């Protein structure tokens, strides 16, 4: 069976955060029957309020690439990798799974501006958003009374999402902490690049880069032209720095859906092929060919 990027939506409505949470719970329960989701439920609710602008002290999400859906895309991709890893024989604990999923929900909180930060958007924090996400998580954990060791465990996992962070410099608490960090680093990239609207949203990514002072991209078109090369670099990162954990995705889809392929890989390759064709034939009016139709808007925040 061949799966397109559009058909990824048939597994779960990715535009509804609550549907995503339900599928994450189903997926985790395949590994750990009777899993206690109390912590996940609490953090998920706070995460939605934070991004919607209903969390005390914060303005809400105003970045259109690193938005609510990007985080829920990462959240479910991580749950799927964890399930696939378990089916492949990797031993993962309930506690490690819970902390990893919390880390996924926290990993881009650094883009959210404080209530008195009224200049620009959260995109201005692009270059240091990982550190700011860790700062937010530290404050959150302190407020909720989480053990210090839990914060360190999650800090290490979130650090793996920084593309400029050398994983060899992270002092993981144990091998599980390292494996889960590599899974989140992988899920972060898989989730965004397999998104049905990935190519459309690259325009928003360029604008975030421009506001955030990210060098190396002269224009929207320049970023688009460099995206295939970024994908090739990402494949190398998947295999080398992130330890090849992306391969667990196929195990998940085989056991969960009876599908003998990785729909994320299929979707991403389809995006890159379409982008390369568009740039080859329509570089002067590329934006017309990137409007391939918006899906239903994400509840609470996003609109097409």
Q: At 168, phi and psi to the nearest 5? A: -70, -20
Full residue range of the structural domain in which residue 272 is found: 6-290
Query: Does any domain span residue 101?
Result: yes
Query: Does any domain span residue 283?
Result: yes
Strand partners, 58: 114
Task: Provide the pLDDT confidence category of residue 7 given band limits of 50, 70 and 90.
Answer: low
pLDDT in tens, 130-159: 999 999 999 999 999 999 999 999 999 999
Looking up residue 59, the CATH number of its domain turns out to be 1.10.1300.10
Count how many domains the chain has. Answer: 1
pLDDT in tens, 103-133: 999 999 999 999 999 999 999 999 999 999 9
Q: At 301, phi and psi to the nearest 5? A: -130, -65
Query: Does any domain span residue 296?
Result: no
For residues 73 and 83, the answer to whether their CB atoms sit within 8 Å is no
Mean pLDDT for 251-280 is 95
In terms of phi and psi (left: phi > 0; alpha: psi -120 to 50; beta: otherwise), the region of 253 is alpha
For residues 100 and 78, the answer to whether their CB atoms sit within 8 Å is yes
Residue 59 has pLDDT above 90, yes or no: yes
Query: Does any domain span residue 253?
Result: yes
Query: Does any domain span residue 298?
Result: no
pLDDT in tens, 274-304: 999 999 999 999 988 886 554 333 333 333 2
Query: Does any domain span residue 280?
Result: yes
Query: Does any domain span residue 295?
Result: no
Query: Does any domain span residue 229?
Result: yes
pLDDT in tens, 156-171: 999 999 998 889 999 9
Q: What's the rounded Cα separation, in Å, for the pair 222 and 286?
A: 12
pLDDT at site 292 = 57
């Amino acid at each position: 069976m061949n799966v397109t990027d559009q058909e990824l939506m048939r597994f779960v409505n990715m535009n509804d955060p609550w549907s995503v949470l339900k599928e994450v719970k189903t997926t985790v329960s395949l590994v750990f029957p009777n899993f206690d989701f109390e912590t996940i439920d609490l953090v998920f609710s706070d995460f939605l309020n934070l991004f919607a602008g209903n969390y005390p002290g914060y303005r809400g999400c105003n970045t259109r690439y690193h938005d609510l859906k990007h985080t829920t895309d990462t959240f479910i991709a991580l749950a799927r990798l964890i399930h696939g890893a378990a089916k492949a024989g990797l031993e993962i604990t309930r506690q490690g799974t819970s902390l990893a999923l919390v880390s996924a929900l926290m990993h881009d909180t650094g883009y959210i501006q404080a209530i008195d930060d009224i200049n620009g958007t959260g995109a201005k924090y692009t270059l240091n958003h990982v550190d700011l996400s860790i700062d937010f998580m530290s404050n959150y954990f302190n407020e909720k009374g989480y053990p210090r060791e839990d914060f360190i465990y999650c800090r290490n996992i979130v650090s793996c999402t920084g593309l400029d962070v050398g994983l060899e410099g992270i002092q993981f608490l144990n091998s599980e902490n390292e494996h889960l960090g590599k899974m989140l680093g992988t899920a972060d990239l898989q989730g965004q690049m397999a998104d049905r609207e990935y190519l459309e949203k690259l325009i928003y990514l360029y604008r975030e880069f421009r506001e955030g002072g990210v060098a190396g991209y002269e224009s929207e078109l320049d970023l688009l032209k460099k995206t295939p090369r970024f994908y090739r670099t990402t494949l190398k990162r998947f295999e080398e720095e992130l330890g090849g954990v992306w391969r667990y995705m196929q195990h998940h889809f085989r056991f969960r859906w009876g599908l003998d392929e990785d729909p994320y890989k299929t979707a991403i390759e389809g995006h890159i092929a379409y982008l390369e064709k568009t740039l080859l034939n329509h570089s002067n009016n590329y934006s017309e060919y990137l409007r391939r139709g918006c899906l239903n808007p994400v509840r609470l925040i996003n609109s097409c």
